[in-house]
A = this chain, B = another copy of it.
């Protein structure tokens, strides 16, 4: 279990930073993530120069902002980046100009149906500038002249991402990928970052891991593409993966399948959600959303699913200032951590076995196995044991058994452990 408050505190620390797909805000974010991961889970930071060709894309110029505002004739800042980094359209080119409200208006973005919220806008790949503000702010701006200042730089630099590898018994990898490019938005995706960090810490503390775990903290789209471009061969080792997004809000869970739809990660996620007791839905893959788009592209076809609560573009607070610290709660974050950790546990424990007494049922009583059941508090363990024995033909995995027996994975895992201890099972390598 995890303390959801610790996750929330990490989000609080990261929230004020002005992140983008490049720049110092992103670097600061990765520094804090690295500190939160701790020495047992050392984060490596990678800088990739602007102009580097990555797959079909090019690493863009680096963007940094010192200040940005719209001031009225009296010099009062009516829209001020210092109050919220959402006020500035992300990746705005530098501007210093005086203009009428009429000239300014095409550069101002609001959400008319939510007059108190500031929208979140970007213009990464087209030179443009703009400000986001609440509809109420805009309504209060009289006609007249305004001073516009965007003290930003767009210059050769680099794209930064962070990567953590926890080696396991095998080179088969489990990828946990989160995007880290959104500025002051708590759910999208600081919640995903927090769940990822605390999962990494828990796994790092384990004496033994079967899989190698790879945690990626990279800007959306271009970050995943950059990583893939630099790791074409290594990417083949990824046997299971998840993108984590929007995990702190109050919506039911959604699991979005891989493009293949029936990968082990799909079955593990569906199984864990079915037994976790939280409301949830499972949806098919579609080529939109977060970085699962890149991992599932035809050139890679990595089996990467996605776990989320609020869905991409489907809740009103999405990409607005209402996605704030109050929008995410310790309780929901802890639930999300439990689900993701449960999926990791299924993947780690999902082995195939061969019965060492396959002809008829072995005599469990003689071996004290019925007594052994008394020592546990796992419901359904006896039936799980009979199921594991019956399906221990080398062809069925424990997840197959759990699905077939309709019991939680931990029951078949515990049954297999008991049977293995009593010499009735052998793992299939």
Contact = CB atoms under 8 A, between A and B. Distances in A.
A174 interface: no
A387 interface: yes
A360 B393 contact: no
Contacts of A224: 360
A243 interface: no
Contacts of A359: 55-56, 228-229, 232, 297, 299-300
Nearest to A365: B125
Contacts of A10: none
A362 interface: yes
Contacts of A127: none
A286 B387 contact: yes
Interface in A220-242: 221, 224-225, 228-229, 232
A206 interface: no
Contacts of A56: 357, 359-363
A184 interface: no
B360 A297 contact: yes
Interface of A: 55-57, 125-126, 221, 224-225, 228-229, 232, 259, 286-288, 293-294, 296-301, 355, 357-363, 365-366, 383, 386-387, 389-393, 405
B228 A360 contact: yes
B366 A125 contact: yes
A347 B363 CA distance: 34
A27 to B, nearest CB: 24
Contacts of A300: 359-360
A73 to B, nearest CB: 38
A298 B390 contact: yes
A365 B390 CA distance: 55
Contact of A386 (B287, B389, B392): B287
Contacts of A232: 359
B358 A297 contact: yes
A360 B277 CA distance: 35
Contacts of A301: 393
Given A288-B386, A383-B288, A390-B259, A355 B125 contact: no
Nearest to A221: B361
Contacts of A299: 355, 358-360
Nearest to A358: B299
A38 to B, nearest CB: 32
B125 A389 contact: no
Given A224-B360, A297-B361, 8 more contacts: A125-B363, A221-B361, A225-B360, A232-B359, A287-B383, A293-B361, A297-B390, A300-B359
A362 B287 CA distance: 12
A224 B296 CA distance: 48
A299 B424 CA distance: 13
Scoring A225, A259, A390, A405 by chain B CB atoms within 10 A of each residue's CB, the highest score goes to A390
Contacts of A225: 360-361
A301 B355 CA distance: 13
